[in-house]
Amino acid sequence: MNYLAHGYPHVDRPWFLAGTAVPDWLSVVDRRLRIRSKHAGPHADGSGSPTSELAAGILQHLADDDWFHRTPAFARVSDLLTLRFRAALPQDEGFRPALLGHIVTEIVLDGVLVERMPGVLDRYYAALARVDPREVEAAVARVAGRPAPGVAWFVQVFLRERFLADYGDARRLWRRLNQVMQRVKLEPLPVGLIADLEYAQGLVAANTEGLLAGYAGQASSG
């Protein structure tokens, strides 16, 4: 799952919402820093403090990913997209087509949610804007047990760029994916892949119910 799918049921709890984004923020600013359940669990004490709420949101993210990646719909869609990307990138014999199959399934799902739930993206960003990025970085450091430099900076970038709004448009999504490719030091994706991203949008839209099956039972807005 990606940012919006993790977070949209929790916009009434800004610190919890921020916690659902923390693992993905860390994948950008410090890929070596991974917060596990054993780190977050002791801090999610139900006190309602910012650190407690953030830790509970991290636990929600981890639980979401656990069931989401085991759904038949995710396996089917990501496998179909991997085959599609492998055919579109015949010179790419590495893991990139599988990486694309995985992440495109997740981020296109966010784009589908934006289209199907008018106003949800504005509510998501407005809720996150209620937390102080510097306090988020401090809370992440407390939960992780070590400093988390860069988190406050990226939260500000995340709020300013609003890149989730690009996920419903294949050309803008292609540009965003190339930013990811640059960050992980992989070759840029050719412009011809836009047609495959359009296919991905239709495929994910057709499988949205299966991808989110059971999610309402997992999510809690407090």
- Residue by residue, DSSP assigns 123-175 as HHHHHHTTS-HHHHHHHHHHHHTS--TTHHHHHHHHHHH-GGGGTTSHHHHHH
pLDDT digits (tens, 9 = 90+) for 150-188: 999 999 999 999 999 999 999 999 999 999 999 989 999
CA distance 216 to 213: 8
Structure confidence at residue 138 (pLDDT) = 98
Q: Is 65 exposed, middle or buried (0-12, 13-18, 19+ CB in 10 A)?
A: middle
The string of pLDDT tens digits covering residues 29-88 is 998 999 999 999 999 999 999 999 999 999 999 999 999 999 999 999 999 999 999 999
The average pLDDT across 118-143 equals 98
For the segment 116-130, what is each residue's pLDDT rounded down to a tens digit? 999 999 999 999 999
> So what's the pLDDT on residue 222?
34
pTM score, two decimals? 0.93
pLDDT at 218 over 70: no
Q: Are 24 and 7 in contact (CB under 8 A)?
A: no
